């Protein structure tokens, strides 16, 4: 498994600065699809789409997703934390 890491440029009160990427959407474009594929494999699901919530991909109703105990189910691919990719 590849460990996905990158610096992310962002802006704050003191201007522009870099910090470690925290989500798939903060990775370089070429790393995003492989990161989502790796996350799907580690979460034992078929696929995670970049802009679609995981619960929709799994064909769940919103009420089912809210009742689900898996804490990652409400994320979509772009806001999926890297801890699910690098686990």
Q: Where are the beta strands (DSSP E) in the chain?
A: 7-12, 15-20
Helix-then-strand count for the chain, H and E: 3, 2
Q: Where are the domains of the chain?
A: 7-84
Please give the structure tokens belonging to residue 75: 């994320």
- The C-alpha torsion from 55 through 1 and 81 to 37, rounded to 10°, is -30
DSSP 45: -
pLDDT bucket at 86, cuts 50 / 70 / 90? confident
pLDDT reading at 6 higher than 90: no
Please give the structure tokens belonging to residue 55: 């619960």
Task: Output the pTM of the full model.
Answer: 0.87
């Amino acid at each position: 498994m590849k460990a996905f890491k990158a610096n992310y440029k962002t802006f704050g009160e003191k201007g522009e600065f870099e910090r470690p990427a925290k989500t798939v959407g903060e990775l370089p474009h070429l790393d995003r699809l492989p990161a989502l594929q790796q996350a799907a494999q580690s979460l034992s699901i078929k696929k995670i789409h970049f802009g679609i919530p995981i619960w929709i991909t799994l064909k769940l109703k919103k009420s089912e997703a809210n009742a689900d105990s898996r804490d990652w189910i409400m994320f979509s691919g772009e806001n999926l934390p890297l801890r699910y990719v690098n686990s």
